[in-house]
Copies of this chain bind each other. A is one copy, B any other.
Amino acid sequence: MTVTDLTLVPRVEAIALDASAPVACCGPLTRETISADDAEVFARRLKALADPARLRLVSIVAASEGQEACVCDLIEPVGLSQPTVSHHLKILMDAGFLTRSKRGTWAYYKLVPGSLDAAAAPLVTV
């Protein structure tokens, strides 16, 4: 790997993905009609969770010590291939539910605090 390689990959989306402060996209659905744009945003979040494998991954991570788990501990429980698990984890990360931190050769995925509550917020009536 050469030095010039570093400048070739601009991660523009890193700015938009401030995963440290999850926010509800909109008010309660029962209060007033959701806008088309908000519906798009909210649907994208729900779609990231609307898969059995991803729900299990989030659940395993969330129920782990420090709400953090290694990929190597996730493959066997969900019963899927390693590339598929990695694929799902990426989707959950892009949606703002998980963050990744590499420690040595291992990758640890951590639940973003409050992200699940923020995703559920528009559904609850309270």
Contact = CB atoms under 8 A, between A and B. Distances in A.
Q: How many copies does the complex hold?
A: 2
A51 B49 CA distance: 12
A29 interface: yes
Interface of A, secondary structure class, is helix
A57 to B, nearest CB: 10
B43 A55 contact: yes
Interface residues of A, number: 36
Contacts of A58: 29
A76 interface: no
Interface string A28-53: 01111110100110110011011111
A30 to B, nearest CB: 4
